[in-house]
């Protein structure tokens, strides 16, 4: 039996509602995955995530390798046990992070040498070492190590990075197969590994199967995207596909067009994950173009800056007009913040630098996106996605972009 089976249950043009099985449970798609970069969705307890209906969350290989160390997490039984989340997890490979370390990294065909943003220590990421890290973390879905470039890169730069990413994908696959076949344990890259308390450590390392997702790159160049998708499919029968390098400064119509191009090149019976895209209007537009999974730090990062998604558009709770506003953040929201607290109270917490203010806004924003995708699923199942998405975008004050 395939532990990562994806079944499309309803279709509405290119949009689909499906179920994605993993060793830690099922994800109903389309779905928004909250980002827990450092093994925590900032300010939210896993209980909060469960209550709002979140099914799958993210961790990040770069950050967790540097701190607290992927081998420490492995010795605590893997990321699920370490952070107390027993549902599905996806780890990003850290490609985005190491390539963002402008001036602190050198790229070669072998991999990337970089200095830690924490203490300046030197590290090397190769497709092989990243697979070892992601194996130690033990997420259900692991992303390949890819060559990430700035959003406005010219075609030659985008081609070079995309082709390298495909070569690195082949190396990731070979290494993961070696690790899953019980190859030698990865080299210990942590010196002075601390003695762990208690007598039960190390817990058994995670041993469930992991799904490796390739990442389709190619910037905003249609031909490169098509070429990347085809080369990736020649390399294997993948359990799902990442779509990378979007929402990085390109115009929205370019992003939506690329999604339509990629949609035509990927198998319809595998989940597609649009990486790092989390604004509500983008989720709705991408669902209409066949995307199943999303993640973004936007809901928690914006929440910490005082911004809340609402059904009528975005609001900033710091504005003076909310000082005496008795309404919840969003009258249409049933999150535990909106069920209990007024805008006036949340604004008071925020302007007083009270931790609860950050937490309530983050909780509301993540809930908002989880629920948005649940509503999209319901609309697909009911055959009303087109009307639902138009109404939703109009109320959110966004003009719908016609599909090609």
| Whole-number CA gyration radius for the chain | 21
Alpha carbon distances (Å) from 82 to 23, 38, 74, 141, 269: 17, 11, 9, 17, 33
**Residue 338 lies near Zn ion (rule: CB under 5 A):** yes
For residue 353, the minimal CB distance to Zn ion (Å) is: 21
The single-letter DSSP state of residue 339 is: T
Q: Tell me the residue ranges of DSSP E strands in 161-284.
A: 211-213, 215-216, 241-243, 272-274
Alpha carbon distances (Å) from 45 to 7, 32, 165, 321: 30, 17, 35, 31
For residue 122, the minimal CB distance to Zn ion (Å) is: 44
353 is catalytic: no
Non-local CB neighbours of 288 within 8 Å, separated by 6+ positions:
13, 14, 15, 385, 386, 389, 403
Strand partners of residue 114: 105, 123
In the complex with Zn ion, which residue's Cβ is closer, 338 or 385? 338
**Residue 360 lies near Zn ion (rule: CB under 5 A):** no
For residue 329, the minimal CB distance to Zn ion (Å) is: 5
For residue 362, the minimal CB distance to Zn ion (Å) is: 11
Active-site annotation holder among 75, 92, 140, 292 = 92
Active-site annotation holder among 140, 263, 295, 330 = 295
92 is catalytic: yes
In the complex with Zn ion, which residue's Cβ is closer, 170 or 307? 307
At which residue do the structure tokens 């007598």 appear?
199
Tell me the number of residues near Zn ion by CB under 5 A: 5
The single-letter DSSP state of residue 30 is: S
Stretch that binds Zn ion, among 26-34, 201-209, 242-250, 362-370 (CB under 5 A): 362-370
Stretch that binds Zn ion, among 65-73, 86-94, 285-293, 330-338 (CB under 5 A): 330-338
**Residue 385 lies near Zn ion (rule: CB under 5 A):** no
169 token code pair: 């994908």
**Residue 289 lies near Zn ion (rule: CB under 5 A):** no
In the complex with Zn ion, which residue's Cβ is closer, 332 or 387? 332
For residue 85, the minimal CB distance to Zn ion (Å) is: 22
In the complex with Zn ion, which residue's Cβ is closer, 86 or 354? 354
In the complex with Zn ion, which residue's Cβ is closer, 179 or 338? 338
**Residue 333 lies near Zn ion (rule: CB under 5 A):** yes
Q: Tell me the residue ranges of DSSP E strands in 202-337.
A: 211-213, 215-216, 241-243, 272-274, 293-296, 307-310, 313-316
Alpha carbon distances (Å) from 377 to 15, 19, 35: 9, 11, 21
In the complex with Zn ion, which residue's Cβ is closer, 144 or 365? 365
At which residue do the structure tokens 């649009």 appear?
274
**Residue 364 lies near Zn ion (rule: CB under 5 A):** yes
**Residue 147 lies near Zn ion (rule: CB under 5 A):** no
**Residue 275 lies near Zn ion (rule: CB under 5 A):** no
- 129 SS3 class: helix
Binding site for Zn ion (CB under 5 A): 333, 335, 337-338, 364
The residues annotated with a catalytic role in the active site are 92, 295
């Amino acid at each position: 039996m395939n532990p990562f089976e994806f079944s499309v249950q309803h279709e509405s043009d290119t949009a689909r509602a499906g179920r994605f099985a993993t060793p830690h449970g099922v994800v109903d798609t389309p779905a928004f995955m909250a980002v827990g970069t450092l093994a925590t969705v900032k300010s939210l307890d896993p209980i909060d995530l469960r209550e709002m209906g979140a099914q799958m969350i993210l961790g990040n290989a770069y950050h967790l390798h540097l701190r607290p160390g992927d081998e420490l997490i492995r010795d605590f039984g893997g990321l699920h046990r370490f952070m107390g989340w027993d549902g599905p997890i996806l780890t990003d490979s850290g490609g985005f992070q190491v390539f963002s370390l402008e001036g602190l990294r050198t790229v070669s065909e072998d991999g990337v040498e970089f200095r830690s943003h924490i203490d300046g220590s030197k590290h090397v990421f190769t497709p092989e070492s990243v697979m070892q890290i992601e194996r130690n973390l033990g997420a259900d879905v692991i992303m390949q190590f890819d060559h990430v470039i700035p959003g406005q890169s010219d075609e030659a730069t985008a081609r070079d990075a995309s082709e390298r990413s495909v070569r690195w994908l082949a190396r990731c696959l070979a290494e993961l197969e070696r690790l899953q076949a019980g190859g030698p344990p990865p080299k210990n890259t942590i010196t002075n590994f601390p003695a762990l308390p208690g007598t039960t450590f190390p817990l058994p390392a995670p041993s469930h199967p992991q799904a490796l997702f390739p990442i389709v790159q190619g910037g905003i160049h249609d031909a490169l995207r098509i070429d990347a998708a085809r080369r990736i499919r020649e390399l294997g029968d993948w359990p799902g596909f990442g779509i990378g390098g979007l929402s990085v400064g390109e115009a929205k119509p370019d992003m939506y067009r690329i999604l339509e191009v990629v949609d035509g090149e990927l198998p319809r019976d595998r989940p597609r994950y649009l990486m790092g895209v989390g604004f509500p209007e983008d989720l709705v537009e991408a669902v209409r173009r066949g995307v199943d999974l999303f993640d973004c730090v936007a809901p928690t990062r914006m929440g910490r800056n005082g911004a809340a998604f609402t059904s009528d558009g975005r609001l900033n709770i710091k504005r003076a007009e909310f000082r005496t506003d008795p309404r919840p953040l969003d009258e249409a929201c049933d999150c535990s913040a909106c069920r209990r607290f007024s805008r006036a109270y949340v604004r008071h917490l925020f302007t007083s630098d009270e931790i609860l203010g950050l937490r309530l806004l983050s909780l509301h924003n993540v809930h908002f996106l989880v629920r948005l995708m649940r509503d999209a699923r319901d609309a697909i199942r009911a055959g009303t996605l087109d009307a639902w998405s138009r109404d939703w975008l109009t109320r959110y004050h966004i003009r719908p972009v016609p599909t090609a």
